[in-house]
Amino acid sequence: MQFMKAFLILEDGNVLTGTSIGSTKEVISEIVFNTSMTGYLEVLTDPSYAGQAVVMTYPLIGNYGICYEDMESLKAWPDGFIVREISRRPNNFRSEDSIENFLKVNDIPGIAGIDTRALTKILREKGTMNGMITTNENFVLDEVLEKLKGYTTAGVVKKVTCDERKVFPGNGFKVALMDFGSKNNIVRSLQQRGCEVTVYPAFTSADEIIKSNPDGIMLSNGPGDPEECVSIIQEIKKLIDSNIPIFAICLGHQLVALANGAKTHKMKYGHRGANHPVKDLSTGRVYISSQNHGYVVDGDTLSDDVAEVSFVNVNDKTVEGVSYKGKNVFTVQFHPEACAGPQDSNFLFDRFIHMMEGTK
């Protein structure tokens, strides 16, 4: 079989050659890496990857195929997909499709045959950078590098949020879920605990949510620079002042910190994978977590009068969770709903339920 050549051109001038998989369109994107060994479909359908091309560090991807039931949203979101080896003949009793066909259907260009671990070392040493995926063998490097330097990821929350309010039934607490790029398993995790979940578009006003009289508010994960979400942060301030219990994940966690006067900053290469250890400072216990973020809350900017850090990353000591004093608000940077990843921290949904019980 004849395979088409494809190239990954990095902002630092590195050019890596492999074979084309999926769509053959040309894209420029931010190149990030994920260290998960499984869960590639959940990665591909996580809206938090909007505006990014994902490098999978595990060398064989696609061996158990595609099971559409496992999708975390209605479509795939990354701009590109980069792997060492793609399995063209998946073997699993649940498999409904191949990953290569899934990429084609979702118009996502990719490359196989890249030394992804060498690429990951570059990104770890030099930091996350922009890159181009192309099948054009006649590219002019200087022209491409000029385009890469001018590329920025912006407006991605607007791109991924739902268009209208949606209600998922339950006979327990009423939870309002702000969709900044929410994964399906957040809704499932709440429904498993009996909650009725109403999903709201990201730019819904705080007044509309408060008037619906929810028992609790969930702020979801999502893509991009949190400081870009200026109008959303203003509405979150009003939600916090309402004293309705709030549980926030990932981007939601960062937005709550910004609403309370803290700062966030971009990490050198972020945390993306299903194997990140986090420590609960109240118990000393360590949990293995699923993560996907390139920005982090600056703990030094959190006022001691307002908040205290509740979880830290074991590897680099960055802030992984915050509890807010005198408020029914707690937030985490990692993903307790996992999918894909360990279920170690899904007890945090139970904590949210108990918080809502305590306000009744």
Is 342's pLDDT higher than 80? no
Establish whether 151 is an annotated binding residue.
no
Q: What confidence score (pLDDT) does residue 1 get?
A: 61
Q: Give the closest residue to 272 by CA, choosing from 48, 21, 2.
A: 48
Establish whether 127 is an annotated binding residue.
no
Instruction: Give yes or no for a contact between 61 and 114, defined as CB atoms under 8 angstroms apart.
Output: no
Mean pLDDT estimate for the chain: 96
Taking only the tens place, the pLDDT of each residue in 96-120 is 999 999 999 999 999 999 999 999 9
340 — pLDDT class (breaks 50, 70, 90): low
Is 338's pLDDT higher than 90? no
Is 178's pLDDT higher than 90? yes
Q: Is the pTM here over 0.75, yes or no?
A: yes
Gap between the Cα atoms of 219 and 175, Å rounded: 10
Is 344's pLDDT higher than 90? no
Is 247's pLDDT higher than 70? yes
Name every residue whose Cβ is closer than 8 Å to that of residue 244 and which is 6 or more positions away in sequence: 210, 214, 215, 216, 217, 328, 359
Helices (H) and strands (E) in the chain, counts: 10, 19
Is 201's pLDDT higher than 90? yes
Tell me phi and psi for residue 265, to 5 degrees.
-145, 160
Establish whether 251 is an annotated binding residue.
yes
Gap between the Cα atoms of 186 and 183, Å rounded: 6
Instruction: Give yes or no for a contact between 217 and 175, defined as CB atoms under 8 angstroms apart.
Output: yes
Mean pLDDT (whole number) for 3-9: 95
Is 172's pLDDT higher than 80? yes
Taking only the tens place, the pLDDT of each residue in 46-87 is 999 999 999 999 999 999 999 999 999 999 999 999 999 999
Gap between the Cα atoms of 327 and 93, Å rounded: 48
In sign, the C-alpha dihedral spanning 15, 24, 128, 146 is positive
Tell me phi and psi for residue 28, to 5 degrees.
-115, 135
Q: Residues with catalytic annotation? A: 250, 335, 337
Other beta carbons less than 10 A from residue 62's beta carbon: 24
Other beta carbons less than 10 A from residue 275's beta carbon: 13
Other beta carbons less than 10 A from residue 313's beta carbon: 20
- High-pLDDT (> 70) share of the chain, %: 98
Gap between the Cα atoms of 19 and 21, Å rounded: 7
* Domains of the chain: residue spans and CATH: 5-153 (3.50.30.20), 157-358 (3.40.50.880)
Taking only the tens place, the pLDDT of each residue in 21-52 is 999 999 999 999 999 999 999 999 999 999 99
Say how many CA atoms lie within 13 Å of 304 toward its Cβ. Answer: 0
Establish whether 48 is an annotated binding residue.
yes
Q: Which residues pair with 32 in a beta bridge?
A: 54
More confident residue, 337 or 338: 337
In sign, the C-alpha dihedral spanning 192, 193, 196, 201 is negative
Residue 303 burial by Cβ neighbours in a 10 Å radius (0-12, 13-18, 19+):
exposed
- Total residues found in the chain within this entry: 360
Taking only the tens place, the pLDDT of each residue in 179-191 is 999 999 999 999 9
Q: What confidence score (pLDDT) does residue 139 get?
A: 96
Establish whether 294 is an annotated binding residue.
yes
Q: What confidence score (pLDDT) does residue 306 get?
A: 96
Is 341's pLDDT higher than 80? no
